[in-house]
Amino acid sequence: MVNIDRKVALTGIFLKNDETISMLLTLMARVWILPSRRLISIIGTGKLGSAVALQVASRELGDLRLVDIIQGLPQGEALDLGQMAAEQGADVDIVGSNDYKDIAGSDLVVVVGGLGRKPGMTRLDLQEKNEDIIRGICDKIVEYAPKTLILMVTNPLDVMTYLAWKVTGFEPSRVFGQSGMLDTMRFKYFIAKALRVSTSSIQAVVIGEHGDSMVPLPRFSTVNGVPITELLSPAQVAEAIERTRKIAAEVIALKGATIYAPAHGITRMVESVIKDKKMVLCLTAHLNGEYGVKDIYLDVPAVLGARGVERVIELKLNDEERAAFLKSVEVVKTAVGHLKTVKVS
């Protein structure tokens, strides 16, 4: 027990002078003014959503709300993850729910819900199926968490991020997607394999659509600052680019889904937001004149912090790179133009 004053009785506190009042207020402040944990909601708790929750909880990035339409699934995941966190000493509150009202107060909502790719499908094949799902999720976000940021994961990612922006009416900086994080780590992986060097020495850059028209940029991808174009032959560079574009389909054909790599990329983005780290990451961001393009979401390097996308980094592309990027822009614009439930500007 804290001895505030000799005149503090066991049956109550009797404030007799200014000094006692000051000491009491100081004590109360120590109890009340504690750093509050941030709230992260994950919509969709299948394999990928659960893998994200695992990493977020392990890194103690914030309290978690797991939401899914399948009865019992998010509740079970929350219990399982909560027991893991208890052993790790991670002080996070994890709640599973089938009710969107539990996302109220979220600082960040990660949208993983929707149908995933099956072997032989492209990301764009999912558009019609996932459009209605994402629209419904976004309506609930607006209703229960109108001040949140949105991190879109559902494919086709560029199109679904655009859809989320249109449906919610949020500022474009508050809606962004995970694409470039995954594409760059894949490009980095194949560069490291070709050069037989540590991946920690590699910085990779990929822009454009999160799909077959993506544009890996060898001139801007480096090993300790040296462009890979000076270290690999043109044939080796071309092979790394092609493998980067096709590897997702290969993994899906082998095991049914991509899980760990996207979960890691998502978690790094969550960390940059929650900790306001302002990392420069390749991600799906809204373009409003950058790269000569407007009213579209595409993968570009950007600064990500507590307010969302704070700034798009505009690279000086050469003619060949720009042509490839604009081709990717047209692919996404065509797909966005087929959306049924929003008016495209």
| Distance separating alpha carbons of residues 339 and 328, to the nearest angstrom | 18
Strand order in the sheet with 222-223: 202-203, 222-223, 226-227
CA dist 169 → 60, 70, 132, 179 (Å): 31, 28, 17, 22
d(CA 21, CA 236) in angstroms, rounded, equals 74
In contact, 128 and 58? CB cutoff 8 Å = no
> Phi/psi class of residue 113: alpha, beta or left (left: φ > 0; alpha: ψ in -120 to 50)?
beta
Amino acid at 284: T
Decide if pLDDT at 7 tops 80: no
Domain ranges across the chain = 39-177, 180-337
Helix (H, G, I), strand (E, B) or coil at 22: helix
Better pLDDT: 155 or 19: 155
Architecture in CATH of 180-337: Alpha-Beta Complex (3.90)
Query: Amino acid identity, residue 32?
Result: W
Decide whether 39-177 matches 180-337 in CATH topology.
no
Give the Cα separation of 102 and 83 in Å (integer): 21
Residue 141, strand partner residues: none
- Kindly report the pTM of this predicted structure: 0.87
* Inter-residue contact 58 to 88 (CB < 8 Å): yes
The pair of three-digit structure tokens given for residue 20, joined into one six-digit string: 């006692």
| 12: confidence class by pLDDT, cuts 50, 70, 90 | very low
Residues that are catalytic? 210
Residue among 194, 193, 188, 158 at smallest CA distance from 175? 158
Domain 39-177: CATH superfamily, name plus number: NAD(P)-binding Rossmann-like Domain (3.40.50.720)
Confidence of residue 34 (pLDDT cuts 50, 70, 90): very low
pLDDT at 119: 72
* pLDDT at 123 exceeding the cut of 90: no
d(CA 243, CA 212): 11
CA separation for the pair 101, 160 (Å, rounded) = 22
Contact 4, 27 (CB under 8 A): yes
Counting residues of the chain whose pLDDT is more than 70, the rounded percentage is: 87
> Sorting pLDDT into bands at 50, 70 and 90, what band is 5?
very low
* pLDDT (0 to 100) of residue 4: 42
Name the residue with tokens 């109360």: 28
Task: Show the 3-state SS of 179-244.
Answer: CHHHHHHHHHHHHHHHHCCCHHHEECCEEECCCCCCEECHHHCEECCEEHHHCCCHHHHHHHHHHH
